[in-house]
Structure 1
Amino acid sequence: MDECEDVSAFKDEFRRLIIESYHDVEVLLKLEDEIQQMRNVPQKADEVVDLRRRHVALQKEIDAKISQGLINRSLILDEYKRRKSNDCGHPDRPMTEPCGKCIETKNNAKAFKGRSIEKWLSDIIPQNELTALIFYRGTWCGNCAIYLREIDQIVPKIRLLGGEVYGICSQSKKYVDEMRKDTKVKFELISNKKNTLAKKFDIHITHKNEKAFKTMSRIIKSALGTSESYDPYHEDGVIQPAVVIINRQGEVVYVRTSPVTIDVGYGMFDRVPATDVLEAIRCSQEKNETNRNIVVRKQSVM
């Protein structure tokens, strides 16, 4: 589905405001370091007062930018809600009854039942021609709900090509369930607090001792008034956005990650476009078909 001009404009403004806020937070953290270093030095008292004044003013600017950014975000989400389709995309689905394939996929995602997530993945891979793993950051991330809804728009086309989609997050199941309820996406979301899948596919993980983690935490606190849903629920850091596609044979046919720099909000923006995900699925499916035809010809010759 093509992106309308209004949504594109809202997204550009949302990104501009948030990225500016990220850079402002970097300055804010430096001001706090300076204040901490000078606060017990009597001859620096006047400088400390000035630094604190600048700190308060900058924090107000950050809060204002994020507040305006969230208004743009709401407009984007409203448009995606308006576009939402109930078509699951599974071939041969009944018109009046629940889709059996949807039920099967949901049951696969409900619980690992003692299995590791690696075992869960190896069990579901043979069930579809291609499996797409969409790594996202969490409920606290201002762009994740938008991105998951964008992916949701292409899920029916992916399923018609024989693929399936799963979202992977390092938040606890409680927050993954909240994201599923909020976005109402057609594909399943999975909690992987230990980031074992991210490590398996060499996807970047932002750890708590990194500057990026501290900067993101401040952005979230300005946006939400608290970082409660962010800090305690990432046992081994935050997965950065990425897409991994695996074929039925368990071969990784596509990996692409978002850059981890301040100019993209440490992964908040510049994610793999949904159109690129669909194209990667389509190309991989066509390659699978070609390989099968080659095998059939070889067998017929023999």
Structure 2
Amino acid sequence: MASSDPVHEFDSLRAQSKFVFAVFYRGHWCPFCRGWLSKLATLSPAIIAAGGTPVIITAEAEKYLDDTRAATKYDGKAIVDPENRLAKELDARDLVHVAISERSSYDHGMAQPALLVLKEDGTMNLGGAKDRPVLDEVWENVEAQLHGKSKVHNTYSTA
């Protein structure tokens, strides 16, 4: 079922983890999104081992979540937010701007791909994703920061 309170669910994940690695995606039908989530699935064990929680977030109807999981092999946390409440709240908190565009099958608009890595104390490792960075490179920078090292990548390749 769709998350009853997506903002509370996200905040709970953040409070229970060293960091949250959140990926917004359009839907099961989006080839780019499927590729991004497949990469997240391969990175998830390392994210979890580092004390983080990977989570995918979509405004798409929940009935498609199983299709998304099957196509990407991602089996971690998911927040289904058809009203885009979480995207709007994260924008209001000035953490990340998730573009929301109109699409006929999305009653409250479709969240565009975006990425946010947020520590439990509210500090950001990375925000935004309008250029759709390669997740491997993002993870390398997050890992470096978690270990007190310098960034590996000053700019990101795009997917």
Q: Is the 8 A contact 2:2 2:62 kept in 1?
A: no
Match of 2:22 among 122, 133, 140: 133
User: Whole-Å Cα distance in 1 between the matches of residues 76 and 126 of structure 2?
Assistant: 19
Larger radius of gyration: 1
Alignment-derived partner of residue 192 in structure 1: 81
Following superposition, the deviation at residue 170 of structure 1 comes to 0.9
| Residues 1:120 and 2:12 aligned together | no
Per the normalisation by structure 2, the TM-score is 0.78
Q: Secondary structure at the match of 1:120?
A: helix
1:272 aligned partner, one-letter code: P
Change (3 A) 1:196 1:284: farther
- Give the number of the structure with larger relative contact order, counting CA–CA contacts within 8 Å between residues 6 or more apart: 2
- Gap runs ≥5 in structure 1: 1-109, 209-230, 260-270, 288-302
Rounded Cα–Cα distance in structure 2 between residues aligned with 1:205 and 1:280: 27
Partner of 2:153: none
Question: Matched residue of 1:207: which SS?
Answer: strand
Contact 1:167–1:188 (8 Å) recurs in 2: yes
Identical-residue share of aligned pairs (%): 25
Q: CA deviation at 1:111?
A: 6.9
Q: Take 1:250 and 1:111, find their aligned partners in 2: how far apart are those partners? A: 25
Which ranges of 4 or more aligned residues in structure 1 deviate by more than 6 Å?
none
The Cα offsets for residues 225-249 of structure 1, whole Å up to 9 and x where unpaired, read as xxxxxx32x1221111111011111
Map 1:1-302 → 2, pairs under 5 A: 112=3, 114=4, 116-199=5-88, 200=90, 201-208=96-103, 231-232=104-105, 234-259=106-131, 271-287=132-148
For residues 108 and 77 of structure 2, the distance between their equivalents in structure 1, rounded to whole angstroms, comes to: 22
1:179-225 superposed Cα distances (whole Å, 9 cap, x missing partner): 113322132232111112222232111124xxxxxxxxxxxxxxxxx
Report the structure, 1 or 2, having the larger helix content.
1
* Structure 2: distance between partners of 1:124 and 1:236: 24
Answer yes or no: is the 8 Å Cα contact 1:129–1:285 preserved in 2.
no
For the aligned residues, what is the CA RMSD?
2.0
Question: What CA distance in whole angstroms lies between the structure 2 residues aligned with 1:286 and 1:240?
Answer: 31
**Residue 79 of structure 2 aligns to a residue in which SS?**
strand
Q: Which string of whole-angstrom CA distances, capped at 9 and with x for unpartnered residues, describes residues 102-154 of structure 1?
A: xxxxxxxx774x5x111111112121111011011101212221221112111
Query: Structure 2: which 5+ runs fail to align?
Result: 91-95, 149-159
Question: SS of 1:254's equivalent?
Answer: strand
